[in-house]
Amino acid sequence: MTANPFILIVGEAVASPCELSKLRMCQPNLLYFAPAEVSPDQEKFMKVAIKMAFTPAEWRACQEAKNQSLRNPQLMVIVQPLVGELTNILSFQQTSYHSGTQKKSLLEKLNNIERTLGNCLQANQQSPLLVQAIVGKQVGQKDQSWVQKLEQVVVEHLLQAPLKVEELANMACLSKRQFTRRIKEALGVSPAQFIREIQLQLAWQTLESGGAESVIQAALGTGFEHASTFSTLFKQRFGCSPRQYLRQ
C-alpha cells in the first residue's frame, strides 16, 4: 500500500452511506468507505485499491475490516500497514450518536471521525503499539516508550511460554497492584487484556505470514495453552476462526 496508508471503513451507526458521501465533500483527502463499498464491484474502492497498490494481505485486511463493521455498525475500522507485508486492523467502538431524541450533526460526526483518526496517526508516527486497537485513551510519549519496551518483553516470553500477569509485573519490577495501576493509567486496559491482545496480534501475524501450519502450532507458538480457547478468542477478535484463516 502506498500514499495515504489509512483506509476507514465506517459502520452505518457512525455515519450512513449518504452521510459519508457528504463527508467526502468536506474532507476529500480522507478515504471513507461504507462496508458495502468495500468490494471489487465498487468503482470508487477499486480506484483506491489500484492507486495504492494493494497487496493480498491488504485486500484481506480490508475484507476483515468490512466484516467487523457489518457485525457491529458502531465500529469505525482503520486499515493500517505495518512493517513489510503486515497490516494492522484498528477497531474503534463509537458511542451512540443519539442523545435523547437528538442526532449528532454531520459536522459533529466529521469531528469525531477526525479525532479518532488523529489519535491513530499520532500513534503511527510514534511507531504503532501492538495493542493500539484496544487502547482506550491517547498515549503520551513517555508511556509509549515504556509500553513498547514492555511489549518486546511480552513477545519474547510468549514465543517460549505462556505469560501470567504476576510474571509480567515482576519483569517490570513492580508489584501486581502497582503494575495494574500503571497499565490502566497508560492505556486504559487491564494487564490481562494487554497480554491477550499481544497474543492475538502475534497469532494473526503468524497466520498472515504463513508461519504456522496448524491451529495448534499457532496457539502454542503465541503463548496459548489450549487450541480451543485460542480459536474462540481469535474469532471473537477478528471475526474469522484461525482454521478458516489457514484455508484462505
User: What is the per-residue pLDDT across 96-114, written as a single tens digit (0 to 9) for each?
Assistant: 444 444 556 666 766 766 6
48-66 average pLDDT score: 81
Which CATH superfamily, name and number, covers 141-247? Homeodomain-like (1.10.10.60)
Lowest mean pLDDT among 21-35, 142-156, 168-182, 188-202: 21-35
Grid cell locating 168: 509480567
Listed in order, strand segments (DSSP E) in the chain are 7-10, 32-33, 75-81, 87-93, 98-99, 102-103
Q: Residue 139: name the closest of 189, 179, 94 by CA.
A: 189
Compute CA distances 181 → 20, 46, 184, whole Å.
39, 46, 5
Rounded to the nearest 10 degrees, how much is the dihedral formed by the CA atoms of 139, 119, 150, 220? 140
pTM: 0.54
Is residue 122 very low, low, confident or very high in pLDDT (cuts 50, 70, 90)? Answer: low
Angstrom distance (rounded) from CA 224 to CA 218: 9
- Please write the tens of the pLDDT for every residue from 153-176: 999 899 889 999 999 999 888 899
Angstrom distance (rounded) from CA 168 to CA 179: 9
Domain boundaries, the chain: 7-128, 141-247
126-135 average pLDDT score: 76
Any bridge partners for residue 158, and if so which? none
